[in-house]
Amino acid sequence: MSNNQRLRVYFTGVGGQGTLTATNLLARTALMVGLDVVAGEVHGMAQRGGVVESVLLLGGLKSPRLDLGEADVILGFEPLETLRGLPYLHKGGTVISSSNPLPPLSVALGQAKYPDLATIKANVTEVASRSYFVPCRDLGLLAGAIQSGNTVLLACACAAHVFPFDLEALAQGIKTFLPAKIQASNLKALELGAQEYEKLAAEKA
C-alpha cells in the first residue's frame, strides 16, 4: 500500500473498553510515520455503557463522519458491535473483530438474544473480502490486562497489512505514546495479535 492511499477505518466497541485510546494510538502512530491523519470520535452519553464509534482517515481524507458503505476497514472491539457496524463497510472491505462478546443489558436480563458467533461471521463474510476474528479479551488477559486486548486487534490488523505501516511501527508507537507501566503488556499483546493473525491466515490458506 502506498503512503498516499486513502483509507477509511471505522472503529466500534462498547463504552469503557478503550476503543478511543486504541484509535488515538493508531492515529499517533500514523502521524509518526509521516501519513496524513484525521481521526474522529463522539463523546458524551455514549460512554455510559453505550456503543462507542470512532474513525481514522488516512491519505488526505477530511470528512470526520463516515457514511454507510464507506469504510475500507472495520475494527470491531466487540462482535455484536462489529455486526451492528457492518453496514459501514463497503463490499470487499476488511473486518478485524474481537470474538469475545460483552452482552448488552437486555441480553443479560434475558429480554433479548445475543446473535451467535457463526451468524455474525456469516454476515461479515457476505460483505468483507477478508475477515479475522480474534479472542482479544482472552489474549489481552494472557498479555497481562484486558485493555491490552485492543492492541491484539490492532496488531492483527497490522500483520494483515491493513495499514500503510507495519508491526514495527506499531511497536514504536506503543513505546512512544503509551504510559510506561502498560507498555510491556501491550507489547506482549502485539506479539500475541501477530501470532494469532499468522495462525488464522494459515488456516484460511
Partner 1 sequence: MNTHPLLDAKPKETHLLLGNEAIVRGALEAGVQMVTCYPGTPSSEVVDTFKRLNATDRYQMEYSINEKVAMEVACGAALGGAKSLVTMKHVGLNVAADPLFTTCYTGLPGGLVVLSADDPGCHSSQNEQDNRGYARIAHIPCFEPADAAEAHAMTIAAFDLARTLEQPVMLRTTTRISHMRGAVQFQELPSHTDLVPFKKNPGRFVPLPAVARKRHVALAEVMAKAKELSETSCFNQEHSQKQPVALGIITSGVARDYLKDALHTGNWTEQVDIFELGLTWPLPEKRLGQFLLNHSRVLVLEEGYAYLEKDIRALAQSIGASANIEGKDATLTEFGEYSHSLVVQRLATWFGVEAPLNPRRSVTPDLPNRPPNLCPGCSHRAVYYAARKIFGDSVVYASDIGCYTLGVVPPMRTADFLFCMGSSISGGSGLARVGQPVVAFIGDSTFFHSGLTGLANAVFNQHNLLLVILDNGTTAMTGHQPNPGMLQKTLGDNCTHIDIEAIIRGMGVEAVQSINAYNVRGLKQIFEQYRDLKGVRVVIAKQPCVLYAKRQLGKTQSKVAQVVQQGPETLACLKEFACPAFYLDGTDVAVDEALCAGCMVCLQIAPNSFKAVNRRA
Q: Which residues are 75's β-sheet partners?
A: 11, 96
Judged by CB under 8 A, the residue of 7, 9, 74, 89 near partner 1 is 89
C-beta of 198: minimal distance to partner 1 in Å?
Answer: 30
- β-bridge pairing 7-14 and 51-58: antiparallel
Other beta carbons less than 10 A from residue 181's beta carbon: 7
Site for partner 1 in 9-48 (CB under 8 A): 14-15, 24, 27-28, 31, 36-48
Is residue 91 a contact point for partner 1 (CB under 8 A)?
A: yes
C-beta of 188: minimal distance to partner 1 in Å?
Answer: 20
Q: Which of 139, 151, 45, 133 is nearest to 95 (CA)?
A: 133
Residue in the structure block whose three cell numbers are 488515538: 24
Judged by CB under 8 A, the residue of 3, 4, 5, 50 near partner 1 is 50
Is residue 3 a contact point for partner 1 (CB under 8 A)?
A: no
C-beta of 130: minimal distance to partner 1 in Å?
Answer: 17
Residue in the structure block whose three cell numbers are 476503543: 19
Is residue 49 a contact point for partner 1 (CB under 8 A)?
A: yes
C-beta of 68: minimal distance to partner 1 in Å?
Answer: 5
The Cα–Cα gap between 33 and 56 comes to 15
Cell numbers at 4, concatenated:
498516499
* SS3 at position 182: helix
Is residue 53 a contact point for partner 1 (CB under 8 A)?
A: no
| Residue 1 to residues 38, 78, 80, 161, 176, Cα–Cα distance (Å) | 18, 27, 30, 8, 24
Stretch that binds partner 1, among 99-107, 132-140, 180-188, 195-203 (CB under 8 A): 99-107
Q: Point out which residues bind partner 1 (CB under 8 A).
A: 14-15, 24, 27-28, 31, 36-51, 61-70, 80-81, 83-84, 86-87, 89-91, 103-110, 112-115, 123, 127
